[in-house]
Every structure is written in structure tokens, then in C-alpha cells.
Amino acid sequence: MNKCSTNSRSAQATQGVARAPHRSLFYAMGYTPDDLKKPMIGIVNAFNEIIPGHIHLRDLAQAAKLGVAAAGGTPVEFPVIGICDGIAMNHDGMKYPLASRELIADSIETMAVAHKFDGLVLIGNCDKIVPGMFMAACRLNIPSVYVSGGPMLTGTYAGQKADLVRPLFEAVGSYATGAISEAEMEEMELSACPTCGSCAGLFTANSMNCLSEALGISLPGNGTIPAPYGQRKALAKQAGQKAVEMVQKNVRPLDIFTLNAFHNSIALDMAIGGSSNTVLHLLAIAYEAGVPLKLEAFHEISARVPNICKLSPGGTHRLFDLYVAGGISAVLRQLGEQGLLHLEEKTVTGRTLGENIRGAEVRDPDVIRPFSKAYSREGGIAILRGNLAPDGAVVKQSAVAKEMLTHTGPARVFNSEEEAFNAIMERRINKGDVVIIRYEGPKGGPGMREMLSPTSAISGIGLDKDVALITDGRFSGGTRGASIGHVSPEASEGGPIGLLQEGDIIEIDIPGCTLNMKLTEEEITARRAAWQQPKPKVTGKSYLARYAAQVTSASTGAVLKVPE
């Protein structure tokens, strides 16, 4: 039996004469004296009944608790919030998901410090929950292992693969043009999301779950084992066992979240063409870890890592296809064999990353291509700079049509997502236009809303090869097309995107990594002198108002500033 050291964290809450009242409270819940002598492992469960990717997490929490108990620990479950980005999309609810990342990290910190857990099993799945959990792990630096709920199985519609974005979100634009009927829309609704799990494409949730394997904070298979499979429960049980082992060996997150580990995760991100939101989240996690990760790292690694997978929304494959093809371990092994990874990095398995992926095989070269047949020589994400984005902008270049990799066109300027979406649906956007959506950044939104509805509508009406969209907001991992986000500085901070006027000519060169407005320096200076700070969109005592007052630029991960 693994007894907890009197010097352990949990001993501060359970051991000694002065802790007799504390023990009495534990006994009131059914714990035994022996339970309080074992390593106490917090089971952080993001279960709720509003996210398909979380609806089944009670089962995984139970499996993790069995693993903790089998390894000689005492599991203690507590909850954390989670928002479904898909349900929050295209209304003011989308101001909250990115902001919720900080609440998630704060609440885990609060529970773990208040109750002196020795270690954590973090159980999440979707979008902001995952990075929020990683941020908390870094901040606390107590032994932690992450297990996701896994991706849902692929849907079908009209005999073809389907997911939430393709065809469903994009069908909204198709319906507006009369290309599909209301009955067809209803059939898509009923078939696109067939099971529990994170949405089936390589959107933000699945991107982060895959990157967790490269970071070393999760077990192999975490990114791709389907949510309904028994293997997923087994993975959770193993995670519980590993958490106890990590406490015994004193393996902590900051031993794992090194600069080389972040570089490994970026290399994987470029190879699989992950969500552009990964840039925000990796920067934020690195900030909490005290690791000097810079935006330039994404550009540098993208230049040498080819894109060898194309999953929805950029391609036709889904996460299930990647699972069958060998999963993330197979992708990582290919990268490692090309010298593109730091294979000596520690992981929660107790082995190095190189040891974790030894023996992995590519079972389907159509899904995981060899380097000789890569989709592109560069990675899936590009960082653009220029006089429109001096501090950088992000584009998922693997999901951009070749015709739009370079584009010059007139700006169609909108000061909110709603204005732009209405213009798209009313067919007021023309071929060649560059749609500008501003005052939607971390501070200006506030909350940096995802623009999946406008981008999907552009694709749905057939303009994804003719129209670009640029915003200081961000995009869903389900976005495709020439969609450039995270423009920094944002409009509310006086960034150049706030100086644009209707009809200004915008030059986009994704291969050249530039984003410019064709204005003279004299004109830019004059407009900046005339620019006025807009009134905040959110005021009063709300969380969003406090968030807007503290949040930093997207180029630094949209983290919160610590008050001086």
C-alpha cells in the first residue's frame, strides 16, 4: 500500500492532531482513516450536459478513479465549467469561451490549493477547457496527467462523410442561395453528429487533444481513440494509475512543459494542419509555464515541417480516419525520423517521447502521407506580418484554396461579426472582396469571438475561392478559406485594422507571409491622428468587463495581465 508522506501536500489537510476537524469532515463523506494516508488525487471532471464532447465524461472519471485506487491513491472528484463553442456561436454568447479559459485555470488552482491535492487527473475535451487545464497544471506544478473525452465518430449525409462544419455549418450559406432545401438541412442536422465526443474534424478541441501527446502531458492515443470506444475508458484508467506514479516519483508539469516540448507540439501542429487557435493556446500555456515561447517559433517551425495530413475542414478525412491510420504516434514517428522532433523530452508515461512512439506505424498513407508526397513543403499554419498586422496575424494555410494564397482586393469594413454576417447572407459581398471584421479582438470584443458563421457562409454560397476575411477576432478550428485572424494590435488598441476605410486595397501574400494595406505612411499617420477610442462594448460589473480590462494581445496568447 502506498502511504502518503507526512511531507506531502495532502498531509497539510489530513495529518497531525491539528487536522482532527479536517479528518472528521472527510469521514462525514465516507472516507476511511486509511484513505487519508494515501496520495490524494484530484479528478478534475469537466462533465456537463451541454457539450457533446463532455456528456460522457462521468464514465471516464469513474475509470480514472478506479485507476487511482488500483495504484494505491485516493481519488477525489470535483467539477470545472465548460462551454460548447458550437452552441455559443454567432451570438453574444461567443464572447465567453476564450474568457472561460482563464476561469477554468483559476478554478482548478483554487480547488487544488485549498484542498492540498498531491496530484491531478484532468478530464476535458473541448476547445478552451483543454488549454485552461494545462495552464492550471503549469501554474500549480503538481503531478498532473490529462485524458480527453475523444472524438465522436464520423457522421454521414447522402452517402458521404459529414461533421458539424462540413456540410452543416456551411449549409447555412447554401440554404441562403436556395441550393438546398429546409428538409435537406433538417436531415443534415440529424446525421452530422452521431455520437458523443468532440466534433469529428480537426477543429480546436481535437487539435489540442492531439497536441497533448506531443507536449507529453497525455498518454499515447489520447488524441484519436474514439469517444465511444472501450479503449477510451482504459486510457482514463491508465491515466489514474500514472497520476499516482507521478506523485511517487515527483514528476511535475514543468518537467514536461519545456521549450523543446512546445516546439514538438508546434511541429505536430504543422504536420497535421491543426486549428489556428492552437497558436493562442500554446502561447498562453507557455506563459503559465514560464517558457519563452514566441510567435516567431510558429513561423520558423512551419518553414521546415511539411503538411502531411488534411482533415476536415481542410480535407475529407476525419479524426476516425487518423485513428485507423495509426494515430498521432504514427505522425510523430515520421517527424522524428526526419529529425524534426526533440525525442528525449519527458512525458507522463515515465518514458521519453521517442520511447512512446517507437513501433508506431502508418497504416494508411493516404491519411498520413509520406514526406515525399506531402500536401505542401510548409506547415499548416502561417504567421503573417505587414503594415496591417505589425505584431502578426494567423492563417490556417492548409485550408486555403490555392487560388487565394495570394489575393489583392478592396476592403469591405464591418465593426462587428453581426454586420458582416448579415452582409454575406444578403449577398452584398462580391467576388474579390476582402471582408474586414474588427473590434472583435480580446479586448474589443471582448472575448475574441470565433467567426465560424461568416466563414462558413462564405464557403456555403461558393465564394471561398474568391473572397478573403480578415479579423482581429479569431476563427473556429472548423474554418476554411482565406481566413486571417488574430490581427495584432487589435482595433480597440489602436491597431492599423481600426484605420481601414471601405474600398482600401488589401494585399495578402500567404506564401510570402505578408499582410498589407496599400496606404502611404502619411495617410496612415493622418488616420491614426483622427482615430478615436470607441466606447467599450461591455461595461459594469460583469466578468467580461473585468476580462476586457486585463486581457493582453492575441500575439501574446490573450493572457490576463497581473495587476501591478
**CA distance linking residue 472 with residue 392, whole number of Å:** 10
What the block records as the C-alpha cell of 246 is 507521478
- Whole-number Cα distances in Å, 200 to 30, 52, 179, 188, 189: 40, 11, 25, 14, 14
Q: Which amino acid is at 9?
A: R
Q: Quick one: residue 176, left, alpha or beta (phi over 0 = left, psi -120 to 50 = alpha)?
A: alpha
Please give the backbone phi and psi of residue 361, each rounded to the nearest 5 degrees, phi first: -135, 145
Exposure on the CB side of residue 419, measured as CA atoms within 13 A: 12
Is position 275 annotated as part of the catalytic site? no
Residues sharing a CB contact under 8 Å with residue 4, sequence separation 6 or more, in sequence order: 10, 11, 14, 15, 36, 37, 38, 39, 40, 118
Smallest CA-to-CA distance from 147 within 223, 200, 253 is with 223
**CA distance linking residue 262 with residue 272, whole number of Å:** 15
Q: Quick one: residue 141, left, alpha or beta (phi over 0 = left, psi -120 to 50 = alpha)?
A: left
**CA distance linking residue 548 with residue 544, whole number of Å:** 6
Angle at 63 between CA 262 and CA 59, to 5 degrees: 100
Question: What's the order of all strands across the beta sheet hosting 40-45?
Answer: 74-79, 40-45, 119-124, 144-148
**CA distance linking residue 312 with residue 480, whole number of Å:** 9
Number of H helices and number of E strands within the chain? 21, 14
What the block records as the C-alpha cell of 324 is 485507423
Angle at 84 between CA 480 and CA 226, to 5 degrees: 75
CB atoms within 10 A of CB 25: 11
- Partnered with residue 45 across adjacent β-strands are 79, 123
147 in helix, strand or coil? strand
**CA distance linking residue 227 with residue 205, whole number of Å:** 13
CB atoms within 10 A of CB 434: 25
Smallest CA-to-CA distance from 80 within 46, 125, 122 is with 46
What the block records as the C-alpha cell of 282 is 500554446
Please give the backbone phi and psi of residue 530, each rounded to the nearest 5 degrees, phi first: -90, -15
List 476, 488, 492, 553, catalytic entry: 476
Cβ atoms of 501 and 515 within 8 Å: the answer is: no
Angle at 358 between CA 355 and CA 359, to 5 degrees: 150
Q: Which residues form the catalytic set? A: 476
